Structure 1
């Protein structure tokens, strides 16, 4: 296959899971692929990403320094041509512009929620412009849900679970397990589906049966056959997205979603927005703060993305981060003794894991469903989502033990939970495709295909577990050009904003939280020492205590607090 074709590796997705997916897998603890044709599983949620190790420095061809950010974009390879978001180039503040008055004067009509399994949930919609810079070009509806405060409400806390592609309305089901009782007593908890996601003008691509095929499709990672398969499926996905959602695809970028969030703020009757965002939700929150610094209330950004890095740097960070998480999983597994299906020292055990994936690539495993096999892509998707939460590692050992004994059902079940596939074969949300639709607008990649191919080879060699899946130019076939340059966000005039990083986060590297906190004009950084993705709701109480004091008593945590 020609170099240019191999370098594309279309629609390789970054891998940031929504917190809701991890909760689903872990049983909701109370708070205190071969290269699959789809690339890495997003776990039901970002173009988020991951790193956090000591080998993230690229040579001077690259652009990534040891903080996971670019020192000087102009010194590195040129990125794709970037257009302009329809949310930008607007004169003045839409909230005070008569052209937007009908949007800002809305009141939400709350009613019953369909398909949400949590007591007290109410749902409604708000209407926003499809194109923010042309409010006469048509409208879309944004789905909103809330759980009323259990005590006297002091306002609304808007939450986003990550993604892009995570449903904030569905995330209300996780609120009783993630958010402390004190916060739930004082705040109405409000979630929304960002534009392009689930109930909000959703990006529609493949049907459910085709999505099954797409997620299961497996080729040898980084091989010509694997890349050809990825390109074949990438083309099918793009054509389906264009056919079914071509009118919305150019307008699902994060700045547009942030504009929508300001309409939501107004509809909730709030002068300022109080917000808790996980993973990709930190990028959405920081983008809002960049647009509306004077309207930032209490802001908590947990598991931060670095807005100053390119798509390729996101991919490199995730490849490294999930490699470190794999090493930690293997070490933990070996410490479990006979419960672990791996044997020998750490290097030998890891090679057994890689050999297992390669074997499933060649010979998929049977499951309890005679019509569905566990393929290499599905096995890797299941394993990847297990790395998000170290409390899932025992489940991972058990599922691997079954698979290495010939039973692929437990890993297939985990893969289905990750992609939000129901037992009847339907998918609860469109997260599988929304993640590409948003990421390809938000994050340009390197334009030089030779550089991209060399980088793909580097990632495959250094990070053999997921590096072969994450190399390449993931949006090469996407029909819409990116609309946003990588750039720091200062949000001057906003703050203080609380940023949280977890040292062993495989999906959003700790260095990115450090970087975002340093970019913001007024921010404090909280550090959770541990493995897994994000911290609030899973740190064991220490991060929760700091965040709750900030949300409830307006006590700003000490910058640098670590636990």
Structure 2
């Protein structure tokens, strides 16, 4: 697994050419602005969206509705070909006279389907539905929005089990070759879409969405990579920002190398916290006597798997890459720590099923062996956004720094920077531009124990948005993001802002 698969929130974006930026949002095809969305009951998710059943009826009655919005494929040619953007909504269920408008969600990735994510998490946002239509979407290249396609399910099974941390020249050459093959397959199967999946494109889609939905301002809830998308939107359209919340915040000042290094530190911190938690309980920790013993045993497991995989989910074997990927997935939420403990227990006994299930979840593989397109979309968006292209020599020079940041994840994240080598589309910039002078206040929520988007990124997002725009709220907790931790302090602050416009005191802390 390469870091783009673990870096749920670290895509790097850039501006479109100066001509488009100068247009601000006024360069629109009138026909697209006038389109009427044909809302219907939602179908079952497509394979690219993750598969499964249609969304369940809403609590208290009502059904989810889905529609497709047409947007320009190429925003520099707004009257040219179009692309369909899949949308989902739950209508507001409160007093119609108190309805504020639509609240648009992006749950991160990049590459995650908002059409499937919003129903899955809707219970957490029930209070917000009293005054908003809850709306989400599949960004271009994702799910049902002209999904990026690369390899077949069988080919992806093999691809995800490759050795992602090569130890010698032969293994390095093999990793480079497989990366080239994967990227060539993406170009072959999705060449039309790849140049048009930058974060700036998705931000312009959101402004069209705002207008088609009939909203004067964009009210927004961005999580993980969704904070970057929200920041780019605020930069392009500062006067259109309504009430907005960024949770699990991407550091907009970092280039891909700095982002990967920050994640190495973040996941190492989460692993340290997991080990401390297991060994500090009254009952015996089944995977180690001390926190250091827990980490030593995990390191030994990974070293052993590099030499000899163990049975996973038949017919696949649990490789070092699978195990590292599964461990990373379990560190996204404290709720997953019990599964990590169980998975490690089983792996020490020669059974890799649980760790492989966790790895499959990260990679978007279902129990039928079908993959969503979250990983191809993730790589496509990252590579369209990220300007740097790294070589084997670059990474070998940087390995000592990454290993110092994380003995467990350092190599894994460093070698992942090869993901965009030989990509068909040049990357746009080193990091996103999010300065938004004149925008309404944006609530920026940072979690001190966040592994995927380290806490420091929240302060840097506040600074980058500009004076009087970003308002920081700190949550002293564990896991990726804060609102979905169900911490009442965080939820009350966010709800008060989104529902009543009450901006928290800058620097407030929830613990």
Whether the TM-score (by the shorter chain) exceeds 0.5 is: yes
1:47 aligns with 2:47: no
8 Å contact from structure 1 (residues 305, 516) kept in 2: yes
Question: Which of 413, 416, 419 lines up with 2:360 in the alignment?
Answer: 416
Contact 2:309 / 2:320 at 8 angstroms: preserved in 1? Answer: yes
- Closer, same or farther in 2 for the Cα pair 1:167/1:95, shift >3 Å? same
Deviation at residue 138 of structure 1 after TM alignment: 1.2
Match of 2:214 in 1: 269
> Which residue in the other structure is 2:503 paired with?
556
1:370 corresponds to which of 304, 314, 325: 314
Equivalent position to 2:34, from 95, 105, 122: 105
Residue from 374, 397, 404 that aligns with 2:341:
397
Q: Which stretch of the first structure deviates more once superposed, 474-483 or 182-191?
A: 474-483
Where 1:202 maps in the other structure, the secondary structure is: coil
Q: Aligned runs of 1:24-43 on 2, under 5 Å?
A: 41=6
User: Could you list the runs of 5+ residues in structure 2 that have no partner in the other structure?
Assistant: 45-53, 58-62
SS in 1 for 2:219: strand
Question: Is the Cα–Cα contact under 8 Å of residues 501 and 526 in structure 1 kept in the other structure?
Answer: yes
1:381 maps onto 2:325 in alignment: yes
Q: Describe the superposition over 1:49-108 as per-residue Cα deviations: whole angstroms up to 9, x where unpaired.
A: 9xxxxxxxxxxxxxxxxxxxxxxxxxxxxxxxx9x86575227547544x5211222221
- Whole-Å Cα distance in 2 between the matches of residues 320 and 477 of structure 1? 28
Q: Determine if contact 2:108/2:225 at 8 Å carries over to the other structure.
A: yes
Does residue 165 of the first structure (1) align with residue 114 of the second (2)? no
Residue 241 of structure 1: aligned partner: 186
Work out whether residues 21 and 236 of structure 2, in 8 Å CA contact, stay in contact via their aligned partners in 1: no
Kindly report the root-mean-square deviation, in angstroms, between the aligned alpha carbons of the 2 structures. Answer: 2.2
Distance 1:386 1:396 in 2: 6
Partner of 1:62: none
1: CA distance, partners of 2:240 / 2:414:
39
| Cα distance change on mapping 1:336 and 1:233 into 2, 3 Å | farther
1:284 and 2:229 correspond: yes
How far apart are the structure 1 equivalents of 2:307 and 2:64? 46
Which shifted more, 407-416 or 453-462? 453-462
* Distance of 2:216 and 2:480 partners within structure 1: 32
Give the aligned partner of residue 176 of structure 1: 122
Answer yes or no: is the 8 Å Cα contact 1:440–1:478 preserved in 2. yes
Matched with 1:140 is 83
Instruction: Determine which of 211, 220, 236 is the counterpart of 2:156.
Output: 211
- CA distance, structure 1, for counterparts of residue 168 and residue 405 of structure 2: 16
CA shift, 1:246, in A, is 0.8
Contact 1:440/1:480 (<8 A) preserved: yes
Select the residue among 204, 217, 225 that pairs with 1:259.
Answer: 204
Change (3 A) 1:317 1:167: same
Superimposed CA distance per residue, residues 408-457 of structure 1 (whole angstroms, 9 cap, x where no aligned partner): 11222222222221211112x21111111111121223768755432133
Residues 48 and 323 from structure 1, CA distance in 2 versus in 1: closer, same or farther, beyond 3 angstroms? farther
SS in 2 for 1:307: coil
Quote how far apart the aligned CAs of 1:250 are: 1.1
Aligned twin of 1:486: 431
Query: What CA distance in whole angstroms lies between the structure 1 residues aligned with 2:338 and 2:399?
Result: 32
Task: Write out aligned runs for 1:146-545 (5 A).
Answer: 146-151=89-94, 152=96, 153-179=99-125, 181-218=126-163, 220-336=165-281, 340-367=285-312, 369-427=313-371, 429-445=372-388, 450-472=393-415, 473-474=417-418, 475-486=420-431, 488-521=433-466, 522-545=469-492
Please name the residue that 2:47 is paired with: none
2:2 alignment partner, one of 5, 9, 12: 12
Counterpart CA distance in 1 for 2:348 and 2:494 is 42
- Judging changes above 3 Å, is the alpha-carbon distance between structure 1 residues 107 and 339 closer, same or farther for their aligned structure 2 residues? farther
Distance 2:343 2:281 in 1: 14
Residues 483-515 of structure 1 deviation map (CA, whole Å, 9 limit, x = unaligned): 134255221110211001001110001111110
Q: Would you say the 8 A contact 1:194–1:257 is kept in 2?
A: yes
Q: Give every structure 1 segment of 4 or more consecutive aligned residues whose post-TM-superposition deviation is greater than 6 Å.
A: 446-449
Q: 1:358 & 1:90 partners in 2: Cα distance? A: 50
* Offset of residue 217 of structure 1: 1.9
1:266 Cα deviation after fit: 0.8
TM-score, length-scaled by structure 1 = 0.82
Q: Equivalent residue for 1:67?
A: none
